[in-house]
Structure 1
Amino acid sequence: MRDPVQTIGKLIDKANMAIISYVDDQGFPISKAMLPPREREEIKVFWFTTNTSSNKVKFFKENPKASIYFVDKRFFRGVSLVGTVEVLETAEAKERIWREGDTMYYPEGVTDPDYCVLRFTAEKGRYYSNFNSEDFKI
């Protein structure tokens, strides 16, 4: 892969969902489908919205290790990124990625106590395409 940031960035931007994985209190990996990230900084930092009351938030507060996966079903390729998640509940973080229509999920608006932000920071990744996988550092 000549330019991981460009190649993987395009794949991520076209994905209509993300799979995020966390570790539960018994050490098992749990994966959940999520809406795509609201923002991304190249292929290093990703910003997601979620419910503060969710299990993933509970477990990320205990253990920030995580992975996110994006897939391009059309061309049967994907990327797995491994890193850590920060649970952000500040007004600044919540306002940063709030969008019109989010009241469908968070009826009290941007200050809804059940609305928070997950900021995922990648450390490394693995890209799969054309029956081949390759590891890369971020």
Structure 2
Amino acid sequence: MMRDVEKTIGNLIDKQTVAFLGSVSEDGYPNIKAMLKPRLREGLKTFYFTTNTSSMRVAQYRREPKACIYFCDRRFFRGVMLLGTVEVLEDSESKQRIWQDGDTLYYPQGVTDPDYCVLRFLAQRGRYYRNFSSEDFTVE
């Protein structure tokens, strides 16, 4: 059993450069996509990613917000899956909050680009794998 869930899982997440974000397709099948690490993390509860408003994933999250994120530490063969929901945010405050220099490479019109939006993942529970065993936990 983990002594400090927030610290153990948070450290694993913060050391990764890639996150795998899951969605549900129109015909009910799971879809997974590698994404750059979250732009912002608030505990284990809330994660913010950038993406294109016109993307297939945004359409999927608008239709079915159920989602998961998986972070994998390949060096020590451990990982964590978080289950929750995704909200698509297009308001100016959310977009400015996680905008970074260089984002114009993806969103040429800048922070107001209509093809730029924010995905806010809200975790409800998770499952941590290490040392050939898994452990479920709730997210507070």
Settle same-fold status: TM greater than 0.5.
yes
Unaligned runs of 5+ in 1: none
Separation (CA, whole Å) in 2 of partners of 1:69 and 1:17? 9
> Matched residues in 1 for 2:31 and 2:66: separation?
12
Alignment of 1:1-20 (within 5 A): 1-20=2-21
Task: Compute the displacement of 1:132 (Å).
Answer: 1.0
Q: Which residue of 2 aligns with 1:85?
A: 86
Regions of 4+ moved over 6 Å: none
Q: Which residue of 2 aligns with 1:34?
A: 35
Q: Which runs of 5 or more residues in structure 2 are unaligned?
A: none
- The letter of the residue matching 2:117 is C
For 1:30 and 1:18, the matched residues in 2 are separated by: 14
Counterpart Cα distance in 2 of 1:53 and 1:71 = 28
- Aligned counterpart, 1:43: 44
User: Matched residues in 1 for 2:8 and 2:132: separation?
Assistant: 16
Aligned partner of residue 75 in structure 1, secondary structure: coil
TM-score by length of 1: 0.99
Matched, 1:126 2:112: no
Name 1:55's counterpart in structure 2.
Answer: 56
Per-residue CA deviations over 1:17-46 (Å, capped at 9, x if unaligned) read 000000011000000000000001111100
Amino acid at match of 1:91: S
Tell me the distance in 2 between the aligned counterparts of 1:75 and 1:104: 33
For residues 95-114 of structure 1, the C-alpha deviation after alignment (integer angstroms, 9 at most, x for no partner) is 00000010011111000011
Distance 2:110 2:47 in 1: 22
RMSD (Å) for aligned C-alpha atoms: 0.4
- Identity among equivalent pairs (%): 63
TM-score, with normalisation over the residues of structure 2?
Answer: 0.98
Aligned residues: 138
